[in-house]
Structure 1
């Protein structure tokens, strides 16, 4: 098997055809404890990161938003409140268990009825070109097998003037923080996974997938290659997380 037939799954090399199923199995396993684990892993700071993404998205009333890798719907719910009844939010995920958990959460919260749901692969989106004002992917791009395809699809479905945003774990900008972050990721995260989610292996994968994700400059270059203009990134928490933003002109 050639290198072109393989890709990374954390630190492992696996056949390209297997990665999607392996990622799906990870999120099937963690879906029920996903929100609790997010709060524990980030000490609740993920809510501030998502708030910053909302600010940078610049979404307005009446617009149409696609939230990829939506998980349990944190971003979708906030966008729904902003675009209002005259707008639309499409909450999308490749994982059926995560999407169902998100739908239940929206029902429980009685979110305004302007959310639709789509089980979709970010590499081949089932939407027309030039059909959304904003598309976001929060903590999902690192799990995509062919990131360049997903970015190109995000650019394709945007209307001219539309914005694409990627919220993702990234590379800390200071060496001391990087060392502390590594120690936390490979010691504490699997422990939390074992104690809370009863699944240390999935959280070991999540830590490894973060390390395999492109750094800030590389991801900005990938967005430019996908056709986005005015690409920029914003480091949060010392670069532990970054938000990348590009515009379709």
Structure 2
């Protein structure tokens, strides 16, 4: 493997320079921000709402806990945790996504959330500040995932917990083939019809395919310093909840 190979990261099915990925992912989410939640419903048949409910039930946010919701964008996870009394900081690298979330919070009368533009790989927060770190459908878009995991570990208090909800590798025979056809052939067309953006949704599907399988990602979480790691597949691995503890 050449030195140049080490200096590339995946952007969908392409291998590009890290800085270019950061910029291109930013453009993708700026493009889809206003239609993001509508597209989530269209692509998942509304299932993403159930997955997020399940995810938050696993996090078990407690009253007064400090929670960092990274890649929290439009607020879906933060709203659920705030309803349980947690003190949630919503962080995202994309200000357009944050702006959508802030507007949604105002429309719903949800107050008390903190909003911050942050790069998951270089958080500005001091070490050992949060009781929990959550990231839902965001880690695969990070340029250097290993660095983001290390930062998650750094900002957690001892005894703090890490939870990640992400698309994964479907393992059910039959369903896998059907999902591959749906995601590759139909999702970009849905993106074109609903959001007027075929290319961004093609990237989002390709980024799922390039994301590490569940055992490999669990190993990355352990390598970042987390203990007692666990993977909970949903729908045969279509999505998975990953967790770990800082001890």
Q: TM over 0.5: same fold?
A: yes
Secondary structure (helix, strand or coil) at the match of 2:84 reads helix
Partner residue in 1 for 2:113: 115
Partner residue in 2 for 1:186: 184
Partner residue in 2 for 1:63: 65
Secondary structure (helix, strand or coil) at the match of 2:74 reads coil
2-side partners of 1:16 and 1:161: how far apart?
32
The counterpart of 2:83, out of the listed 64, 81, 86, is 81
What is the Cα deviation at residue 88 of structure 1? 1.6
Partner residue in 2 for 1:93: 92
What is the Cα deviation at residue 175 of structure 1? 2.7
Structure 2: runs of 5+ lacking an equivalent: none
1:150 paired to 2:152: no
1-side partners of 2:172 and 2:30: how far apart?
34
2-side partners of 1:153 and 1:98: how far apart?
21
Partner residue in 2 for 1:16: 18
What is the Cα deviation at residue 178 of structure 1? 1.3
2-side partners of 1:115 and 1:212: how far apart?
33
2-side partners of 1:236 and 1:37: how far apart?
20
Structure 1 residues 106-156: Cα deviation after superposition (integer angstroms, max 9, x where no partner) = 111001x22001100000111111110111000000001110010111111
The counterpart of 2:130, out of the listed 98, 112, 132, is 132
2-side partners of 1:71 and 1:37: how far apart?
14
2-side partners of 1:96 and 1:222: how far apart?
28
- Give the alignment's Cα RMSD to 1 decimal: 0.9
Partner residue in 1 for 2:49: 47
1-side partners of 2:35 and 2:233: how far apart?
27
2-side partners of 1:61 and 1:213: how far apart?
34
Partner residue in 2 for 1:28: 30
What is the Cα deviation at residue 223 of structure 1? 0.5
What is the Cα deviation at residue 173 of structure 1? 1.5
2-side partners of 1:226 and 1:15: how far apart?
23
Partner residue in 2 for 1:208: 206
2-side partners of 1:226 and 1:53: how far apart?
21
Moved over 6 A (4+): none
